[in-house]
Chain A
Amino acid sequence: EDKVVQSPLSLVVHEGDTVTLNCSYEVTNFRSLLWYKQEKKAPTFLFMLTSSGIEKKSGRLSSILDKKELFSILNITATQTGDSAVYLCAPNSNSGYALNFGKGTSLLVTP
């Protein structure tokens, strides 16, 4: 059975801090791993990772995948209050099945 574990489940930081969110997975026939950000309503796409060791960056956010150790991390540097959200990871398999989401990490950035 596929498993996705995100940690921590929740996190409170001050503006300007750097945070690292973790996602470990067990997926048969792994193909890619996706990160989403969910603020008030619908999740929005952040990154899709397919290769180990290749960092993807978007502004202050970056993410990397380790296919040997079966995990991914999402880093946010110089956090801002607008980064407050739930961050979801979802590994995907070659079986073509739908995405299996982790429970998410709830991040609160305080002024």
Chain B
Amino acid sequence: DADVTQTPRNRITKTGKRIMLECSQTKGHDRMYWYRQDPGLGLRLIYYSFDVKDINKGEISDGYSVSRQAQAKFSLSLESAIPNQTALYFCATSRTGYYGYTFGSGTRLTVV
């Protein structure tokens, strides 16, 4: 099993629908992150969490929300999806004091 698992792997949804992307990890890391990747724009940070009670906005949090249900689980929600949220979404984890990330395999989201 992968250390960081993202579900679903691919998703097509309609404009206005609510959608949740899930991330779970078996690394035992305390920190978790959500990034989106768009062609030519690199990886941009949406939200990050340093522990279960600590949630922080990243540079592009508008239109997104997150939930850290447990140390191992971090979900990203799009309350009302719009086409410009079409992107590749990555969850990543790290542990305090070490800044190497472990990435999930990504979720390709298409909003039509």
Contact = CB atoms under 8 A, between A and B. Distances in A.
Interface in B42-99: 42-45, 48, 50, 58, 90, 99
B60 to A, nearest CB: 12
Interface string A16-59: 00000000000000011010100001111100100000000000
Given A32-B99, A42-B90, A45-B101, A98 B58 contact: yes
A41 B99 contact: no
B99 A92 contact: yes
Given A96-B50, A100-B45, A34 B100 contact: yes
Interface residues of A, number: 20
A104 B42 contact: yes
Chain B interface secondary structure, helix, strand, loop or mixed? strand
Given A34-B100, A45-B100, A103 B42 contact: yes
A2 to B, nearest CB: 10
A88 B42 contact: yes
A70 interface: no
B99 A101 contact: no
Interface residues of B, number: 20
Contacts of A45: 100-102
A36 to B, nearest CB: 8
Contacts of B105: 41-42
Contacts of A88: 42-43
A12 interface: no
A99 B99 CA distance: 8
B25 to A, nearest CB: 13
B51 to A, nearest CB: 12
29 contacts: A31-B99, A32-B99, A34-B99, A34-B101, A41-B105, A42-B104, A42-B106, A43-B43, A43-B90, A43-B101, A43-B103, A45-B100, A48-B99, A88-B42, A88-B43, A92-B99, A96-B50, A98-B33, A98-B45, A99-B45, A99-B99, A100-B45, A101-B35, A101-B42, A101-B43, A103-B40, A103-B41, A103-B42, A104-B42
